[in-house]
């Protein structure tokens, strides 16, 4: 038909314009033609449409009888023009009104559900304690460290700032009453940005399927899911993450809309491409989970470019331009935006704070209030100095010890030496000569490269010691312990100090000198890396003695330095550039992220539990009669979503086999099915990419990680339900031979489905809006009888 035939038309300029308009509108016609809503939205239209279709079909049949190619083309153009005038007069406008109406309904429902009881509970719930604190840090401009990129927390701080929250509430622990502090501003902001997932999902589905029903079903599934609702009502990063993920998906579908030749490089085309890139970087800047939507877009782009390449009408130059445009908008632009967020982050946080010790000494010297800021430390290390030693690797900790011993089965049972990422009294070590004890009255003698020294832990008076025994985690290294009584140990406490890139006899400059400590007897070097000790070691980093002396993790620098006999020198520190700071921050984030282990007694979950809604998370309270909020998906929505994935896979495989076997579908059926399966495959891929990577992750996982995947699953369900409803009603019509039955069946089933969802939401909405009174196994509870799975805890 028009679409199939169009590429054969010759390319006169004016004809092209006509053709493009024609194609767009005629396609719209067919799409809606295939859409049950048009057929059935009013009886008047049905009659009109039959008439239109008959005329169009006649015109085309007539056109197809022309033998001569040029004549045939002309006849087709005429036919399409007539069809266009017939269709556009009422139908297209009608569908737009209908669409706008449904969309408005969806938006109102979303806001109504999301903003309802936003102020409840008036105390800190779940992770609000973290993110609230983070917002405080921004508002107070103190430096902190977190495993997530900064955008989400900066937006929270901004929302707080705009709504007159001044950062003075402690967010100490879950359950703390907010009192007079204005917390609803930040919650409302989160709820609003969390609400955007619904309109975004609506448009994503509508644009890919051109079906209002599908878009409506997808939206209603998300609206009526208690989990998504709960997650978007609190001061968390997830509403923003989901919002930006949905925005990127939506922008991509708009871009997809403009993928025909006549729209290439048009303003809208560029706009949506750039918007996609922008939202991608926003999603990624909130949490690294945003990577998955980048992958989704990446796969789409590869498919798209591959498609463009296959069309021989496109010259290589054009393809190159396409490639460059995508690279610019989807790689360069997002990278710049991401870096810009970090620039803002570093700019805001310019005061020393709890995150200092994660970063290198050089970086710390840029923070106001840090001991290295304006260099309030003596410049050269002398015997009798008390120093802290910082591992030079990005994310390296400070050499640390404490009274606890290594457990029985780990090496020798002596005092632990670890590396610790926080500033602490226990990080201080006293520098002594190897053989001679310190004389407090002797004149100052500086430490020099090549000297043999002892390091005495100031708090416990034990020396840093090593011997040939297996280190606790890195089995090929040797154990490092604290040994001796009151600073007297044995020959295994001697370390030779070497300055890297220096001569023998060089002085040791605070922060500047990179040093290596080599164990005199064993010949190994003091080493620390990113492995965390188990609970007995307080999850601090392991310190070992590495037989490979040249390893880059054997390098340390003096960070803190206390010596009353020495003047506080004016050491000029090398300040790291912005890029170095960003790279350092990322290395530390990766290290901490991969070391995230469950805290004791904490409920963690496995990815397989998520889609079946196996177990939720407690947001607030768990005892009877307290105010309880429980993050749990609406089970009806979750189980429906899961089963529709199965239905889709079955339908898709059956169709694939039938087509491969040589069956040919009529072209409008094919067009409809192709469009629906493209949409479904796209959302299925989105679901897959946001879900399966979690199976490969070693870190601790929680139920709320599933919700981005849930969005895609709901959109998929919308598409498949629409397809099945339509097919079923068509089949019923074939059987009953009465055309109006199609409408009846279609709307009855749709109504039932929506009624089921609404009912399940009214049943379970207590999970989100808060439950009080007895627990669900009590007869008097509002949730009595709703504990369908034993694993649910409400």
Residues interacting with another protein, by CB under 8 A? Answer: 173, 306, 309-310, 312, 316, 473, 475-476, 535, 547-549, 599-601, 622-623, 657, 660-662, 695-696, 698, 775, 777, 790, 793
Q: At what angle do helices 267-286 and 151-162 cross, to 10 degrees?
A: 90
Burial 745-769 (b: 16+ CB within 10 A, else e): bbbebbeebeeebeebbebbbbbbb
Q: State in angstroms the smallest separation of the CB of 309 from another protein.
A: 5
Structure tokens at 523: 């010949």
- The 8-class DSSP code of residue 435 comes to S
State phi, psi for 629 to the nearest 5 degrees: -125, 135
Structure tokens at 194: 């969390």
Q: Which is nearer to another protein, 306 or 735 (CB)?
A: 306
The CA angle 776-781-784, to the nearest 5 degrees, is 55
Q: Which is nearer to another protein, 32 or 781 (CB)?
A: 781
Q: State in angstroms the smallest separation of the CB of 777 from another protein.
A: 6
Q: State in angstroms the smallest separation of the CB of 622 from another protein.
A: 5
Q: Which is nearer to another protein, 198 or 771 (CB)?
A: 771
Q: Which is nearer to another protein, 105 or 656 (CB)?
A: 656
Q: State in angstroms the smallest separation of the CB of 775 from another protein.
A: 6
Q: Residue holding tokens 């900066």?
A: 154
DSSP conformation letters of 353-387? -TTGGGS-HHHHTTSBTSTTTTT-SBSB-BTT-EE
Q: State in angstroms the smallest separation of the CB of 535 from another protein.
A: 8
The CA angle 502-503-506, to the nearest 5 degrees, is 85
Q: State in angstroms the smallest separation of the CB of 273 from another protein.
A: 22
| Segment (H or E) for 587 | helix 578-594
Q: Which residues pair with 790 in a beta bridge?
A: none
Task: Give one word for 383, left, alpha or beta, with left for phi > 0 and alpha for psi -120 to 50.
Answer: beta
Q: Which is nearer to another protein, 663 or 735 (CB)?
A: 663
Q: State in angstroms the smallest separation of the CB of 174 from another protein.
A: 9
- The 8-class DSSP code of residue 577 comes to P
Q: Which is nearer to another protein, 399 or 767 (CB)?
A: 767
Task: Give one word for 281, left, alpha or beta, with left for phi > 0 and alpha for psi -120 to 50.
Answer: alpha
DSSP conformation letters of 195-255? HTHHHHHHHHHHHHH--HHHHHHHHHHHHT-HHHHHHTSSSSSHHHHHHHHHHHHHHHHHH
Q: State in angstroms the smallest separation of the CB of 310 from another protein.
A: 5
Closest CA to 545 of 504, 492, 587: 492
Q: Which is nearer to another protein, 11 or 601 (CB)?
A: 601
Give the span between the Cα atoms of 297 and 88, in whole angstroms. 34
Q: State in angstroms the smallest separation of the CB of 710 from another protein.
A: 23
Q: Which is nearer to another protein, 13 or 316 (CB)?
A: 316
DSSP conformation letters of 725-763? HHHHHHHHHHHH--THHHHHHHHHHHHHHHHHHHHHHHH
Q: State in angstroms the smallest separation of the CB of 597 from another protein.
A: 13
Q: Which is nearer to another protein, 91 or 542 (CB)?
A: 542
Q: Which is nearer to another protein, 661 or 737 (CB)?
A: 661
Q: State in angstroms the smallest separation of the CB of 713 from another protein.
A: 23
User: 589 Cβ partners below 8 Å, 6+ apart?
Assistant: 147, 148, 149
Q: Which is nearer to another protein, 691 or 746 (CB)?
A: 691
């Amino acid at each position: 038909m028009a679409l199939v035939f169009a590429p054969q038309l010759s390319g006169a300029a004016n004809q092209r314009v006509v053709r493009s308009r024609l194609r767009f509108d005629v396609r719209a016609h067919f799409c809606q033609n295939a859409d049950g809503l048009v057929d059935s939205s009013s009886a008047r239209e049905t009659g009109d449409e039959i008439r239109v279709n008959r005329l169009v079909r006649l015109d085309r049949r007539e056109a197809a009888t022309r033998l001569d190619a040029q004549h045939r083309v002309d006849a087709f153009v005429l036919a399409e023009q007539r069809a266009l005038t017939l269709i556009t007069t009422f139908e297209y406008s009608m569908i737009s009104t209908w669409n706008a109406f449904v969309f408005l309904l969806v938006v109102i429902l979303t806001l109504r559900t999301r903003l309802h009881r936003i102020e409840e509970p008036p105390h800190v719930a779940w992770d609000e304690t973290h993110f609230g604190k983070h917002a405080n840090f921004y508002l107070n401009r103190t430096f902190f460290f977190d495993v997530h990129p900064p955008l989400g927390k900066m937006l929270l701080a901004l929302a707080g700032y705009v709504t007159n929250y001044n950062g003075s509430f402690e967010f100490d622990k879950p359950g703390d009453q907010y009192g007079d502090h204005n917390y609803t501003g930040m919650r409302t902001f989160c709820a609003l940005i969390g609400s955007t997932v619904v309109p975004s999902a609506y448009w994503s589905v509508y644009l890919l399927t051109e079906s209002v029903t599908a878009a409506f079903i997808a939206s209603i599934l998300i609206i009526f899911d208690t989990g998504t609702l709960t997650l978007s009502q609190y001061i968390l990063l997830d509403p923003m993450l989901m919002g930006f993920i949905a925005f990127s998906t939506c922008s991509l579908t708009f871009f997809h809309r403009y993928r025909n030749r006549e729209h290439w490089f048009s303003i809208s085309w560029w706009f949506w491409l750039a918007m996609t890139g922008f939202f991608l970087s926003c999603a990624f800047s909130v949490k690294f989970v945003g990577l998955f939507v980048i992958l989704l877009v990446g796969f789409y782009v590869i498919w798209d470019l591959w498609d463009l390449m296959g069309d021989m009408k496109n010259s290589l130059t054009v393809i190159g331009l396409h490639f460059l445009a995508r690279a610019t908008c989807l790689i360069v632009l997002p990278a710049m935006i991401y870096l810009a967020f970090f620039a803002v982050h570093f700019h805001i946080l310019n005061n020393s704070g709890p995150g200092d010790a994660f970063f290198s000494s050089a970086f710390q010297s840029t923070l106001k209030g840090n001991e290295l800021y304006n260099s309030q430390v003596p410049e050269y290390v002398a015997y009798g100095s008390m120093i802290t030693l910082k591992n030079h690797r990005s994310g390296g900790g400070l050499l640390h010890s404490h009274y606890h011993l290594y457990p029985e089965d780990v090496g020798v049972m002596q005092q632990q030496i670890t590396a610790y990422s926080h500033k602490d009294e226990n990080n201080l070590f006293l520098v002594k000569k190897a053989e001679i004890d310190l004389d407090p009255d002797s004149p100052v003698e500086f430490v020099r490269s090549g000297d043999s020294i002892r390091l005495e832990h100031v708090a416990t008076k034990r020396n840093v010691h090593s011997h040939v025994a297996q280190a606790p985690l890195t089995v090929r290294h040797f154990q490092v312990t604290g040994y001796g009584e009151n600073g007297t140990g044995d020959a295994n406490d001697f370390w030779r100090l070497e300055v890297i890139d220096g001569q023998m006899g060089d002085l040791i400059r605070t922060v500047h000198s990179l040093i290596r400590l080599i164990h005199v007897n064993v010949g190994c070097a003091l080493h620390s890396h990113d492995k965390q000790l188990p609970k007995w070691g307080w999850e601090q980093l392991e310190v070992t003695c590495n037989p490979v002396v040249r390893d880059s993790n054997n390098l340390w620098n003096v960070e803190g330095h206390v010596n009353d006999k020495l003047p506080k020198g004016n050491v000029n520190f090398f300040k790291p550039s912005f890029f170095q700071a960003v790279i350092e921050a990322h290395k530390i984030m990766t290290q901490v992220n991969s070391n995230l282990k469950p805290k004791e007694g904490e409920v963690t979950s496995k990815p397989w539990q998520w889609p079946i809604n196996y177990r939720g998370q407690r947001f607030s309270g768990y005892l009877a009669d307290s105010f309880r909020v429980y993050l749990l998906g609406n089970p009806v929505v979750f189980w429906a979503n899961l089963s529709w994935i199965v239905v889709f896979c079955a339908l898709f495989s059956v169709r694939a086999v039938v087509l491969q076997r040589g069956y040919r579908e009529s072209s409008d059926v094919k067009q409809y099915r192709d469009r629906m399966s493209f949409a479904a495959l796209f959302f299925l891929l989105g679901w897959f990419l946001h879900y399966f990577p979690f199976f490969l992750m070693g870190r601790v996982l929680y139920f709320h990680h599933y919700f981005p995947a849930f969005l895609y699953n709901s959109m998929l369900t919308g598409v498949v339900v629409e397809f099945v409803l339509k097919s079923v009603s068509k089949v019923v019509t074939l059987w009953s031979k009465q055309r109006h039955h199609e409408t009846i069946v279609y709307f009855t089933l749709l109504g039932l489905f929506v009624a089921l969802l609404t009912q399940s939401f009214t049943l379970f909405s207590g999970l989100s809006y808060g439950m009080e009174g007895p627990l669900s196994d009590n007869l008097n509870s509002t949730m009595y009888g709703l504990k369908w799975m034993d694993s649910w805890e409400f």
